[in-house]
Amino acid sequence: MDDPLTPAAIQARLGTRWLGRTLEVYESLDSTQTRAVALARAGAPAGTLILAEYQTQGRGRLDRRWHAPPGSSLLLSLILRPALAPSQAQRATMICSLAAVRAISQVAGLAAQVKWPNDILVGGKKAGGMLTELGARGAALDYVIVGLGLNVNLDVRDLPATLTPATSLAAEAGHSIPRLELLVAFLEHLENYADRLAAGWSPREEWRGALATLGQLVRVGTTEGVLEGLAEDVDEDGALLVRSADGRLHTILAGDVTLRGAPVRNES
Ligand code: BTN
The residue nearest atom 2 of ligand 1, judged by CA position, is 129
How many Å lie between the centroid of ligand 1 and the Cα of residue 174?
25
How many Å lie between the centroid of ligand 1 and the Cα of residue 34?
10
How many Å lie between the centroid of ligand 1 and the Cα of residue 247?
35
Q: What is the pLDDT of residue 263?
A: 65
* Torsion angle in degrees (nearest 10) through CA of 29, 30, 34, 40: -20
Evaluate: CB of 77 within 6 angstroms of ligand 1. yes
Nearest alpha-carbon partner for 136 in 175, 61, 83: 83
pTM tops 0.85, yes or no = yes
Q: Is 108 exposed, middle or buried (0-12, 13-18, 19+ CB in 10 A)?
A: buried
The residue nearest atom 9 of ligand 1, judged by CA position, is 149
Greater pLDDT, 152 or 139: 152
How many Å lie between the centroid of ligand 1 and the Cα of residue 58?
6
- By three-state DSSP, how is residue 6 classified? coil
Nearest alpha-carbon partner for 259 in 212, 206, 207: 212
Atom of ligand 1 at shortest distance to CA of 36? 12
How many Å lie between the centroid of ligand 1 and the Cα of residue 147?
5
How many Å lie between the centroid of ligand 1 and the Cα of residue 239?
20
Greater pLDDT, 160 or 233: 233
Using pLDDT thresholds of 50, 70 and 90, give the confidence band for residue 262.
low
User: In the sheet that 217-222 helps form, which strands lie side by side, from edge to edge?
Assistant: 249-252, 240-243, 225-234, 217-222, 256-259
Evaluate: CB of 117 within 6 angstroms of ligand 1. no
Percent of the chain surpassing pLDDT 90: 79
Q: What is the pLDDT of residue 234?
A: 95
Using pLDDT thresholds of 50, 70 and 90, give the confidence band for residue 222.
confident
Mutate to test the pocket of ligand 1, among 115, 131, 183 (most ligand atoms within 8 A of CB): 131
Q: What is the pLDDT of residue 224?
A: 76
Atom of ligand 1 at shortest distance to CA of 60? 3
* pLDDT tens digits, one per residue of 178-204: 999 999 999 999 999 999 999 999 999
Greater pLDDT, 253 or 6: 6
**Contact (Cβ atoms closer than 8 angstroms) between residue 175 and residue 108:** no
Q: What is the mean pLDDT of residues 22-44?
A: 97
Atom of ligand 1 at shortest distance to CA of 75? 10
The residue nearest atom 11 of ligand 1, judged by CA position, is 147
Evaluate: CB of 48 within 6 angstroms of ligand 1. no
Q: How many CA atoms lie within 13 A of 107 on its CB side?
A: 23
Please check the confidence at residue 266 and state whether its pLDDT lies above 50: no
